[in-house]
C-alpha cells in the first residue's frame, strides 16, 4: 500500500511540566525535574502526530527505536516542547529527527524510528500472545 507521506513533515508537541512529569513521579530519578522518559514520550508524540493524520483510516505508526540525549534539566512549571521532522521513508519504516526545548535551553535531541501498521491486524497479532 502506498502512503501519502513526504520527507519534511513535522509536528510540535508541547506541555507544561507538572509534578506527574518529573523523575520522582515516573520512578526514573530522585529529583523533581522533567523526567527523561517524559521527554522521550513527548518526542514520540511529536513524531506520531507529524504523520498520523495523513495515513489512511485504520493505519497508525508504532515506535520501535529512539536514540536521544537529555542535555538539560527543566523545573516544574516551565513549558517544554518537542519537534519531530520526518527525514527518511523506507517503505513502512519512518525515521525522524527529534529535538526538545524548554523556555531557556535545548534540552534533548536524537533520532526516532516508527513503522506504519494496520491497526486491526497489529492488535490481532499482539493479542495472540495471550493464547500461548
Catalytic residues: 36, 44, 70
127: left (phi over 0), alpha (psi -120 to 50) or beta: alpha
Q: Which three cell numbers stand for residue 76?
A: 516544574
**117: number of Cβ within 10 Å:** 17
Residue 63, annotated ligand binder?
A: yes
**Cβ–Cβ under 8 Å, residues 61 and 48:** yes
Residue 132, annotated ligand binder?
A: no
Residues belonging to the binding site for CoA are 63
Residues belonging to the binding site are 63, 114
Residues belonging to the binding site for substrate are 63, 114
Amino acid at each position: 500500500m502506498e502512503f501519502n507521506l513526504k520527507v519534511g513533515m513535522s509536528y510540535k508537541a508541547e506541555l507544561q511540566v507538572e509534578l506527574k512529569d518529573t523523575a520522582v513521579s515516573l520512578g526514573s530519578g530522585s529529583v523533581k525535574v522533567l523526567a527523561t522518559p517524559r521527554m522521550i514520550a513527548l518526542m514520540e508524540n511529536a513524531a506520531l502526530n507529524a504523520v498520523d493524520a495523513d495515513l489512511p483510516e485504520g493505519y497508525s505508526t508504532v515506535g520501535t527505536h529512539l536514540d536521544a540525549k537529555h542535555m538539560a534539566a527543566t523545573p516544574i512549571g516551565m513549558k517544554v516542547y518537542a519537534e519531530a521532522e520526518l527525514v527518511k521513508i523506507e517503505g513502512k519504516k519512518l525515521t525522524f529527527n527529534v529535538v526538545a526545548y524548554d523556555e531557556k535551553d535545548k534540552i534533548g535531541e536524537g533520532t526516532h524510528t516508527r513503522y506504519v501498521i494496520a491497526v486491526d491486524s497489529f492488535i490481532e497479532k499482539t493479542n495472540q500472545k495471550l493464547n500461548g
